[in-house]
Amino acid sequence: MDFVSGEILTKDGLRKGYIAFEKRKILEIGKGRPLKKPVCKGLIIPSIVNSHTHIGDSFIKQKKIKLPKNVEKLVAPPEGLKHKLLRKASDNDIIKGMEKSIDMMIKNGTKYFCDFRENGILGINQLKTALHLLKIKCLILSRPNSLEYDKKELDLLLKDSNGIALSSISDWDYSELKKVVKDTKDKKKIFALHASEIIRENIDDILDLKPNFLVHMIKASESDLTRVKEMNIPIVICPRANSFFGLRPDYKLLKKVKNDILIGTDNAMINSPIILEEIKYIRSVTKEFSILNLLYIVTYNARKALNLDCDILCPNSKADFIVLNKKSLKPLYVSDW
């Protein structure tokens, strides 16, 4: 049996004590000092969830290409630079890049991530190859190869992934989009999309699609955010990626409206997929959220919103935790799982 000790971020807040664990299982959460010298001391939190990535473009970061700081020119399908580079890249380049990003996530305490997978069936297969044998779980949200509804393709995508995630309503003919959403919902799979990133998009059109969650909502008005809140739809913010494009979430407004926030790292070609870096960045630009708030968001809230196992940091649950240096947020210990 081993121990970690310090402060523990439980579902009900912070408490001092220790965790006793053995064979990847938590045996006890106790107060005071552990019976044996702990393997690590610090701030103990559940493993982290990265709620929004595109790790297929990791290989582009390694190419050291100068990227345009414009959403349309860089990431909008089908002609954004990223999509041109993805079409030209070999399977091997893409998969190796994904593996590097996954490895980085694991080392930094991320156990789950939710990827918006481009490139249709091929994109799903590339990600599954990269995930093979690695100790991480991924919600794969796939995307049709073109901006058109193709029933046959969609059936295959839905069969092989957890759902569909699209670039934005602005990229699609709305009637085509509705067909995609209907099939996704009929199969009881997840539907998500980027929304109001660089322009304010029509909130009625967005909400009529009944998305499971939205990403960005930078340009959303207070009334848009309120309606999203009323429908209990979480919003994933990706502040470092936004700042690359000169954009910034309205932290004050998100807090005022009490939106359910999740945190993602977005395109791996722009930033590392390390959520702890995202938290440090958020704290450097706003004091609206405390570090503990943010850590709670990327652990308990994200698990709840993405329907993951919420039974964590309690006796008989999996030893699914990390220990951080409370000041620097550096991971000191990542439990084996």
Binding-site ranges for Zn ion (CB under 5 A): 266
Least gap, CB of 135 to Zn ion (angstroms): 25
* Cα–Cα separations (whole angstroms), residue 83 to 57, 96, 104, 314: 9, 18, 23, 44
Residue with tokens 């439980």: 10
In the bound state with Zn ion, the residue whose beta carbon lies nearer, of 86 and 334, is 86
Least gap, CB of 14 to Zn ion (angstroms): 32
Distance of CA 189 to the CA centre of its chain: 17
Q: What Rg do the C-alpha atoms of the chain give, in angstroms?
A: 20
Residue with tokens 């620097």: 328
In the bound state with Zn ion, the residue whose beta carbon lies nearer, of 224 and 266, is 266
Q: What angle do CA 283, 284, 287 make, to 5 degrees?
A: 50
Other CB atoms within 10 Å distance of the CB of residue 226: 17
Least gap, CB of 164 to Zn ion (angstroms): 14
Least gap, CB of 80 to Zn ion (angstroms): 12
In the bound state with Zn ion, the residue whose beta carbon lies nearer, of 50 and 184, is 50
Give which of 272, 273, 275, 276 is closest to 325, Cα–Cα: 276
In the bound state with Zn ion, the residue whose beta carbon lies nearer, of 250 and 266, is 266
Which residues are registered as beta bridge partners of 158? Answer: none
Q: Which residue is nearest to Zn ion (CB)?
A: 266
Least gap, CB of 298 to Zn ion (angstroms): 17
In the bound state with Zn ion, the residue whose beta carbon lies nearer, of 71 and 297, is 71
